[in-house]
Amino acid sequence: MLIEDEALLEHQLKYCSQVLNKLRKNANAFPFLEPVDPVKLGIPDYPLKITHPMDLSTIKKKLDSKVYTSPKEFSDDVYLMFNNCYTYNPSTYEVYQMAKSLENIFNEAMTHLPQEVVKKKKKANDVFIPDRTKQPKRNIRTMDSMKLEDYEFCADILHELTKPKYKALNWPFLEPVDRNLIPSYYEIIKNPMDLKKMRDKLDQKVYGSVDEFIQDLRLMIDNCYKFNEVGSDVYNCGIGLNDVINNLISKYEPKDIKGRILELKKKILAYTKEIKQLENKLQNKPDNTVPSIRCYQLSERIDIGNKILCLNKQQTTNRKCGKDHPKTWGRGIRRE
């Protein structure tokens, strides 16, 4: 039991380190990155009002040095930092509001603090690689499945999205979400996607077209919006990275424009037909694409039968009388 407790503590403190990195990368974190300098900031009364100063760099040092013996000690220091800000600054100050925003992010992140260590099964193939082994065999294509210029375009987009200049936006998407740290993620997100997985799929020639590649980019962003709360740090990263993606995609122009137009027209025709069928179902109307068969009442069928008998009788009488009538074919239709 003691070994399991130690493993859980190590697991939790590792998660605390990730939460701390998340806070430090936030745009509202810069007033809290380093200890407050009363002389530099011109606030000589700060040490008189704040007897236990705290900042993110100090917390990081304590975390790296394994000073904390529990996640609560880590959280206490983070809340101390926020409370110091609230104590010294009026609520109308911008730094006060920045602390509030950062605290909300911290509270949300700590709700996912691991409460148990997920034990790995002793299987050779149990190394977690999200969904790569779950790809249907029909998706594995040959090397010539994507045109060279399309492959280069996709590779250029991935290279651009992983550049350090986008580190404030791309950090949540570079690697798969850690199943052990946030197990609830895979309960909500059934088709996870990240930039590393896309790089692997591109190298393995899984993508057959640029459209399939772009669909995975959209899936990655949609997953972000689905799992994270609106206004959260990661959600905002998704918005920012999506803008970058749209800008990069806009530079792509298919080489075979006529072929692409024909392909899109076929899709539009198929979608239009399907929409019409669904609308007819909603309105309880018959599908006009299928010929309808009229159902006659009994009286109508008797009347039609009598008319046919009369017509046949008249034709027989005319032939017996030798009248010079034009030859007919079928039911009174002139034969040419």
DSSP conformational letter for 32: G
Single-letter code of the amino acid located at 210: V
Q: Domain boundaries in the chain?
A: 2-110, 132-249, 260-293, 298-334
Structure tokens given for 23: 């806070």
Evaluate whether 2-110 and 132-249 have a shared fold. yes
Question: What is the predicted pLDDT for the residue at 216?
Answer: 95
219-243: string of b/e by CB count within 10 Å (b at 16+)?
Answer: ebbebbeebbeeebbbbbbbeebbe
Q: Measured between alpha carbons, how far is 211 from 150 in angstroms, rounded to an integer?
A: 10
Q: What is 2-110's CATH superfamily?
A: Bromodomain-like (1.20.920.10)
Distance between CA 90 and CA 160 in Å, rounded?
43
Eight-state DSSP code of residue 120: P
| Cα–Cα separations (whole angstroms), residue 328 to 306, 314, 316, 319 | 20, 13, 12, 11
Provide the pLDDT for residue 112.
Answer: 86
- Alpha-carbon span 198 to 207, nearest angstrom: 9
Residue 22: name the closest of 240, 233, 226 by CA.
Answer: 233
DSSP-derived 3-state class of residue 105: helix
pLDDT score, position 328: 43
Burial of 296 (0-12, 13-18, 19+ CB in 10 A): exposed
Q: What is the pLDDT tens value at each position of the chain, 336 positions in all? A: 454 577 888 888 988 999 999 899 888 898 999 999 999 889 999 999 999 999 999 999 999 999 999 999 999 999 999 999 999 999 999 999 999 999 999 998 888 888 765 544 444 444 443 444 444 443 444 444 577 778 888 988 999 999 888 989 999 999 998 887 788 899 999 999 999 999 999 888 888 888 899 999 999 999 999 999 988 889 999 999 999 999 988 876 555 566 667 777 877 888 888 888 888 888 875 555 555 555 666 677 677 777 777 776 666 666 555 554 444 444 444 444
Which pLDDT belongs to residue 140? 41
CATH architecture, range 132-249: Up-down Bundle (1.20)
**Amino acid at residue number 144:** D
Residue 144 pLDDT: 46
What's the confidence (pLDDT) of residue 59?
Answer: 95
